[in-house]
Amino acid sequence: MPIYEYESLDPNKGCQKCINRFEAIQSINEMPLATCPSCGQKVKKIISWCQGTIGESSGESNSILNRIKSFESQGQWGHAGELADRQSEKTKDKSLKERALDNYKKGGYNTDWHEKQ
């Protein structure tokens, strides 16, 4: 989903969030925000500079991802979940955390305790 930037229509009104610009993750099909979600001040969508990065994963990360995939293909959901969970904590990767939770669920584990953390 794209990230859009917004700022207050009146730079003298609004909260710190909309006076200094804020980001919103929205679908391309969503209407632009009309007001600041924090203070209700009218806002406008602005053109932001595109800043791209190239993510390179280390050989160790690729190896771990391959091991997770191997466990998943063998139906070893607990092992896949545990490995993905440890790696997500290490890398702070939210999608990997979701993958870990999904694997735990497929393995029949109760994930209620984990999702509250």
What three-state secondary structure class fits 80? helix
Segment among 12-16, 49-53, 78-82 with least mean pLDDT: 49-53
Residue 17's domain comprises 3-46
Q: To the nearest whole percent, how much of the chain has pLDDT over 90?
A: 38
Alpha helices in the chain (DSSP H): 16-19, 59-73, 77-91, 94-106, 112-115
Supply the pLDDT for residue 3.
74
Residues 37 and 66 in one domain: no
pLDDT at 50: 59
The answer to the question of residue 54 being in a domain is no
Residue 52 maps to a domain: no
Q: Report the predicted TM-score, pTM, of the whole model to 2 decimal places.
A: 0.49
